[in-house]
Amino acid sequence: MKELNLTCPVPRPADDVIVLAHGGGGKLTNQLIERVFLPAFGCAPLEARHDGAVLSVSGLRLAFTTDSYVVRPLVFPGGTIGDLAVNGTVNDLAMCGARPLYLSAGFILEEGLPMQMLRGIVESMRAAAERAGVQLVTGDTKVVDKGKGDGVFINSAGIGAVETSLEIGPAAVRAGDAVIVSGDLGAHGVAILSVREGLEFEAPIQSDTAPLWAPVEALLEAGIEVHCLRDLTRGGLASAVNEIATAGHLGIQITESAVPVREPVRGACEILGLDPLYVANEGRFVAFVPERDADRTVDILRGFSVSKDATSIGRAVEAHSGVVTLESRIGGHRVLDMLSGEQLPRIC
């Protein structure tokens, strides 16, 4: 038998052009922030690497955030791009411990977009803003040539009032803190995929898009010493806890069997070969609170329909700083790394 030939491909650089993965919420997104944006714009609020910036203006503490919404399809089970645009920005403010007050909306519309579609999106924004208790106070509209946009892109910025004296962010997390997730994972990502991949459900999976200020407010009013909050969006739970572990210089340990995922979401993930821990959510968050407050936090959260399945899933630890580990169902351990790029369905 002849000697087996060893061959290998030529290296390919990943940083000369923007690729889709740069928007995936995982490693490449963070690399982009670190290598391109921070060097240019670096300042304390940005360095804090939290969902929004908390600023002092004439003695008042305000939270300020921005987000852009580029989802495809524009309408999906459970909502539209409009719902995401309102709830997503509201939630970034809530994650700073701020009462969401005012939003802006900048629309980039593609030539040829049916007016009916735009009206539907705007109506869903109106309803979402009402539900979240915010006002849309300023906006902008641009139209681009047909083929230069995905129908609708929306950028939304938000301002909120920080009424708590707590400094909520990764820097406040301490070893021993409990990690609490506000509900079951993966519904939004699967709802989107169900349209794209033509999946049918016995009971359609709805996106979990929802405003999250009410449960956060309840925690703060109850005097819970909230250390950090983070809403789970692209990149899923895994990306969020990795970002916090890195920014907070701590390790985090998660117990897989404690993480809630509903059966149809699991089924969809199984057949597509996706891991629910990485699938996008739009109405879920994690909270880091002292161990002594963990039970009370879960009780308070369960009193709200948006967080009725809240549960403790792990803890922050001194060890393996910056790394998140997972205890699997069978008791083995692995590193729960951040996604490098898009999570793609697989056959293998």
Judged by the rule CB under 8 A, the positions of this chain that interact with another protein are: 1, 3-15, 17, 19-21, 27-28, 31, 197, 199-203, 251, 253, 257, 263-264, 266-268, 270-273, 275, 317, 319-320, 323, 325-335, 337, 340-341, 344-348
- Alpha-carbon distance values, 345 to 184, 209, 279 (Å): 21, 23, 11
Least distance in Å: CB of 329 to another protein?
A: 5
Residue number, 1 or 40, with CB nearest to another protein: 1
Question: What is the C-alpha separation between 246 and 244, in angstroms, rounded?
Answer: 5
The one-letter amino acid at 85: A
Residue located via tokens 């996008």: 280
Contacts of 225 (CB under 8 A, 6+ apart): 166, 289, 290, 293
Residue number, 222 or 335, with CB nearest to another protein: 335
Residue number, 35 or 308, with CB nearest to another protein: 35
Instruction: Give phi and psi for 209, each to the nearest 5.
Output: -55, 130
Distance between alpha carbon 221 and the CA centroid of its chain, in Å?
A: 24
The one-letter amino acid at 248: G
In degrees, rounded to 5, the angle at the alpha carbon of residue 326 between the alpha carbons of residues 324 and 327 is 150
Q: Which of 176, 74, 61 is nearest to 118 (CA)?
A: 74
Which of 215-247 are b and which e, b meaning 16 or more Cβ less than 10 Å from the residue's Cβ? Answer: bbbbbbeeebbbbbbbbbbbbbbbbbbbbbbbb
Four-residue CA torsion sign, 293, 296, 299, 302: negative
Helix axes 263-272, 187-196, angle to 10 degrees: 50
- Alpha-carbon distance values, 124 to 7, 46, 195, 319 (Å): 55, 31, 19, 45
Residue number, 44 or 330, with CB nearest to another protein: 330
Question: What is the C-alpha separation between 150 and 152, in angstroms, rounded?
Answer: 6
Least distance in Å: CB of 124 to another protein?
A: 26
Cα dihedral angle (269, 313, 246, 167), rounded to 10 degrees? 130
Least distance in Å: CB of 103 to another protein?
A: 32
Structure tokens at 178: 């409990």
Least distance in Å: CB of 240 to another protein?
A: 17
Least distance in Å: CB of 196 to another protein?
A: 9
Residue 44 per-residue DSSP state: H
Least distance in Å: CB of 271 to another protein?
A: 5
